[in-house]
Amino acid sequence: MYRFHRISLSAILLFCTAAASAAPVTYTIYSKISRVNLGIEHQGFMQLSGTLNITPGSFVFDHQDWSKSSVAVTMPTKSLNMGDDLWNEQLRGDASWKNLFNAPYISFRSTKVERTDATHGVLYGDLTLAGVTKPVALQLKVNKVGLNAVTKKDAIGITATSTVKRSHFGLDAYADLVGDDLAVQIQLEAAVGPDPHAPAPAMMNMPAAK
């Protein structure tokens, strides 16, 4: 009877542990290093690249049932950095891009997450760019789940990629010089618990440092 009781207790503990591990986990985005990378063709000569900062925030990920996961990220439009200070100033001062910079944020909010294999899936959601919201689908990859060797916190790394038409968001300036396809890559690293190094929102809204 005692042995049976021990086995039953062990089974209950195992069940509870499994149930706990299967629960959705809330991760805090490490905004200091998480980025959105952008790519667009320049006159057919090369692929221009730029970055956007991601504001502090969090998302929910269910490791067992991805459909129960959700993510929402915002990016200050003024944080757009095309890699050159002069070019950044020219873009912000160009009336042709006023729709982009009049909107303080670019944002993405998920509507559905589908899992296709152990580490890949499709992230569906609404992208708001230049004040226009359109549905998009991003190819999702869970790069790693485990202990962060520096912070000693449970962490996750995610990459999501897609290509959108900038003209669909009213950004059709210089169509003869700049491609319409905008390659988007969201790189997120996040961990359980608060981010002690999260920058203040006011700093996130500032233009890229010169």
Burial of 74 (0-12, 13-18, 19+ CB in 10 A): buried
Query: In whole angstroms, what is the distance from residue 160 CA to residue 61 CA?
Result: 14
Query: In whole angstroms, what is the distance from residue 54 CA to residue 186 CA?
Result: 9
Per-residue pLDDT at 201: 55
Q: What is the DSSP string of the chain?
A: -HHHHHHHHHHHHHHHHHHHHHS-EEEEE-TTT-EEEEEEEETTTEEEEEEEE--S-EEEE-SS-GGG-B-EEEEEGGG-B-S-HHHHHHHHH-GGGHHHHHSSEEEEEEEEEEE-SSSEEEEEEEEEETTEEEEEEEEEEEEEEEE-TTT-SEEEEEEEEEEEEGGGGT--TTTTTB-SEEEEEEEEEEESS--TTPPPHHHHTSPPP-
Per-residue pLDDT at 7: 46
Per-residue pLDDT at 16: 44
Per-residue pLDDT at 22: 60
Per-residue pLDDT at 200: 62
**For each of the chain's 210 residues, which pLDDT tens digit applies?**
444 444 444 444 444 444 445 689 999 999 999 999 999 999 999 999 999 999 999 999 999 999 999 999 999 999 999 999 999 999 999 999 999 999 999 999 999 999 999 999 999 999 999 999 999 999 999 999 999 999 899 999 999 999 999 999 999 999 999 999 999 999 999 999 988 787 765 444 444 444
Domains of the chain are 23-204 (2.40.128.110)
Burial of 70 (0-12, 13-18, 19+ CB in 10 A): middle
Per-residue pLDDT at 198: 79
pTM of the entire predicted model: 0.82
